[in-house]
Amino acid sequence: MPQVKPSDGPVAVTGASGHIGSHVVRALMKRGYTVRACVTDESKPEKTAHLLAMNSGVYPGRVELRTGNLLEQGSYDEIFAGCAAVMHVGTPMGYANVNKPRQIYDGAVIGTLNVLESVKQAGSVRRMVYTSSFSAIAHPAPRGYVFTEKDWASDNRGKDPTWTPESIDTNGDVAYSMGKIATEQMAWRVAEEDGRFDVITVCPCVGLGPLLSRAHELPGSWQYFLGRMLMGKPCGRGWQHLWNIVDVRDVGDAHALIIESDKCKNGGRYQLTAADRSGELNAAELQEHLARLFPHIAVGGPPKQYEEIVAKYGHPYDAPRAYCDRAREDLGLTSRPVDDTLFETGRTMIELGIVKPAFK
C-alpha cells in the first residue's frame, strides 16, 4: 500500500496513554498528524493529562482522546473511520500481576483480532503498525548469538517443558511471548487476505527513556528497576544477562517512519534494539553509567547473586545481542546514545516525584 502522510487523514493509536504509546503519539504530532489517542477511560487525568498537554502548540499536530476497549468487538469501528493508519500499541501486560497469563495471551490475540476487524470495517486504513516485542524473537541460543528479525521465540525449544500450550495458563512470560508470535503472524495473514492494508510489526527490547507521566512507572518494568537503582537498591531485573536498550523516543519515531516509508510492505518486521554494543549493558556496567550520569547519587548495583555468576562464569550471560540495523537502513531511524536514554529516564522519574534518590 502507498505510504501515509498527514494530509491523508488521522492516525489512531491504541494504548496511547502508556510509555510507548505516548511517545508514538508525540512522534506523530511532531510530523503534523491528527492523532486519535485511544484510552480505556478518558475520565482519568492521571493517564491522559500528558496527552492533552501536547496540544499546547509546541507540535504542529493535534491529539484527540477516544475511548476504546480491546476486548470489545466493534469498539474501534467509529474511531478508525476515516483513519489513514492505525498504531496498535495497547496490550494487557503482566506488571504487578494485574493480569493473569491467560488474560495476557487473549488480550494480545483476541484484542488484536478486534482491532483488525475495525480496520477492515473502516476501509480507509492503508497501514497498521503492530507493537510486538523482542519477547517474540528471543529464544535459547549460544552465548553471543546475534538475533535478527528472522528469529522467533519458538525456535530451538526442543523439549523445553515451559514452552507448551498449557503454560499459557500458568506462565506469564510464556503467555506473552506466545501471544506476540501468534498475533504478528495472524495480523499479516488477515492483511494479506483483505488486500486493502499492510501490517508491519516492531519488536522493542529494553525500552527506556523519558517518562511523560507518573503512570509510566509500572512495577516490574525496566524503568521501575532503573528507578530502584537510583534509590540505592540492587538491580532487580536482568542482572543475569544484558540489558539490550532502545530509547522509547526511537520506538515512537520508528512507528511514524514505518507509515511514511515506501520500503515497508505487509509482513515487514523490525526489531528495535541497541544500535551497537554500547547499548548492551550488564548490571555492573549499568551501575557505572548511572553513577557517572548522576554523580550526586549513591547508585545501587548488582545483587549478591551476580557475584556468584561472575565467579563461576567470568561474566553474566552474553545475551541478548541484537541490533536495529534493518530499521536504520530501511527507515532512516537515528538511534539516541545510551547515556542520553539512561539520563532522561532517571531525570524524569526524579522530576515526576516517582523516585526519591539516594543522595550521597
Q: What is the pLDDT of residues 263-292, one digit of tens each?
A: 999 999 999 999 999 999 999 999 999 999
The CA distance from 3 to 14, in Å, is 20
Confidence (pLDDT) at 95 = 59
- In percent, the amount of the chain with pLDDT more than 70 equals 99
Instruction: Describe the chain by its helix, strand, coil percentages, rounded to 5.
Output: 45, 15, 40
Task: Map grid coordinates 507540535 to a residue.
Answer: 59
187 neighbors 194 (Cβ within 8 angstroms): no
Residues 161-207 have pLDDT tens digits of 999 999 999 999 999 999 999 999 999 999 999 999 999 999 999 99
Residue ranges of E strands in 70-133: 85-88, 127-131
What does the pLDDT read at residue 2? 82
- 302: preceding bond cis by omega (within 30 degrees): no
Q: How far apart are CA 151 and CA 147, in angstroms?
A: 6
Report all structural domains of the chain as residue ranges with CATH numbers, in order of start.
6-215+245-276+321-335 (3.40.50.720)
Q: With bands split at pLDDT 50, 70 and 90, how would you rate the model's confidence at 68?
A: very high
Amino acid identity of residue 193, one-letter, is E
Give the model's pLDDT for residue 143.
87
Q: pLDDT at residue 309 above 90? A: no
Q: What is the mean pLDDT of residues 121-138?
A: 98
Residue 235 has pLDDT above 80, yes or no: yes
Q: Are 316 and 179 in contact (CB under 8 A)?
A: no
Residue 51 has a pLDDT of 97
CA quadruple 209, 318, 290, 279: dihedral positive or negative? negative
Residue 55 has pLDDT above 70, yes or no: yes
Q: Taking residues 220-231, report their average pLDDT.
A: 96
The predicted-structure confidence for 82-118, as pLDDT tens digits, reads as follows: 999 999 999 877 655 667 999 999 989 999 999 999 9
Is the pLDDT at 39 greater than 70? The verdict is yes
Q: 313: pLDDT confidence band, cut at 50, 70 and 90?
A: confident
Q: pLDDT above 90 covers what percent of the chain?
A: 91
Query: Given this model, what pLDDT does residue 96 score?
Result: 56
Name beta bridge partners: 128.
86, 199
Spatial distance between the Cα atoms of 302 and 322, rounded to a whole number of angstroms: 23
The amino acid sitting at 209 is: G
Give the per-residue pLDDT at 49.
97
Average pLDDT along the chain: 95
What is the structure's pLDDT at 92? 78
Scan for cell 494479506, then name that residue.
192
Q: Give the three cell numbers for residue 198.
A: 499492510
Q: Which positions ≥6 away from 189 have C-beta within 8 Å? A: none
pLDDT value for 308: 87
- Does pTM surpass 0.85? yes
- Residue 109's pLDDT is 95
Give the separation between CA 298 and CA 231, rounded to whole angstroms: 8
pLDDT score for 201: 98
pLDDT of 237 > 70? The answer is yes
The SS3 assignment for 23 reads helix
Q: Is the pLDDT of residue 245 over 90?
A: yes
